[in-house]
Amino acid sequence: MKNRAYPALQTRLTNLHLQNLTLDLLLALQGLRASRLLSSRGGGKNLFSDLAKLNSLVNADDFDFDRIRPLLNAVLANKPDSKIWDKVYNAITESTPPPRPIASSLQQTPWLRNTSSFANSSEHRKYVDDVLKEELGPMYVGLRGFDQTYFGAVADLETASEAFFKQCLGGGDPFFDDG
């Protein structure tokens, strides 16, 4: 049964009310043992730690209710637990923060680095992750339906990906080798 009163109720609530309701909901979810048993999508120990991070975001002055709205709607509509946990995971999935700018020690000389500037040396490998993050920009993790959204229209994707992979393995200087 769909109750159409909830969206109207949400439009009448102030952002502060929505923030408080959301914090109450997130704290209630953290109080459930399942939050400590379910896996993390944000690199933490479990979903409990992801909910703690989300609590901090919700408590901030620039709280964006649109991120939480589907979760609150699912709870208010008394959806099954599995659907609610799916909405929890969707709410905690967020972009990784952009890398911090690195101050150059040579203030007068512009300095640019990218992955092509690295020699193939184990000495420099520890810096590659930071440089890749700078080059790629924000990255997203745990996006549901990513494969279907971006590759769903590719006819016979499995065959096409195998053919592409074989091309990467071939030639005098293969793009990929060793596993």
For residue 83, what pLDDT is reported?
93
CB contact at 8 A, 40 and 50: yes
Query: 140 with 174, same domain?
Result: no
Of 48, 75, 92, the one marking the end of a domain is 92
Is residue 162's pLDDT more than 80? yes
pLDDT in tens, 42-55: 777 889 998 998 88
Is residue 67's pLDDT more than 70? yes
Query: 15 with 71, same domain?
Result: yes
CB contact at 8 A, 72 and 22: yes
**Domain range spanning residue 138?**
96-144
pLDDT average, residue stretch 54-78: 86
Give the range among 57-61, 125-129, 170-174 with minimum mean pLDDT.
125-129
Query: 59 with 114, same domain?
Result: no
Query: 129 with 168, same domain?
Result: no
Query: 105 with 123, same domain?
Result: yes
Query: 9 with 88, same domain?
Result: yes
Query: 104 with 88, same domain?
Result: no
Tell me how far apart the alpha carbons of residues 83 and 33 are, in angstroms, rounded to a whole number. 17
Query: 101 with 176, same domain?
Result: no
What is the DSSP secondary structure assignment for residue 32, as one 8-state letter? S
Is residue 77's pLDDT more than 60? yes
Is residue 18's pLDDT more than 80? yes
Query: 88 with 47, same domain?
Result: yes
Tell me how far apart the alpha carbons of residues 7 and 13 are, in angstroms, rounded to a whole number. 10
pLDDT in tens, 91-121: 888 544 444 555 544 455 445 555 555 555 5
pLDDT in tens, 20-40: 999 999 999 999 999 999 988
DSSP 76-88: HTT--HHHHHHHH
Query: 31 with 61, same domain?
Result: yes
**Six-digit token string for 58:** 């919700």
pLDDT average, residue stretch 161-176: 80
Query: 25 with 83, same domain?
Result: yes
Total domains present in the chain: 3
Is residue 160's pLDDT more than 80? yes
Query: 37 with 62, same domain?
Result: yes
For residue 40, what pLDDT is reported?
86
For residue 144, what pLDDT is reported?
77
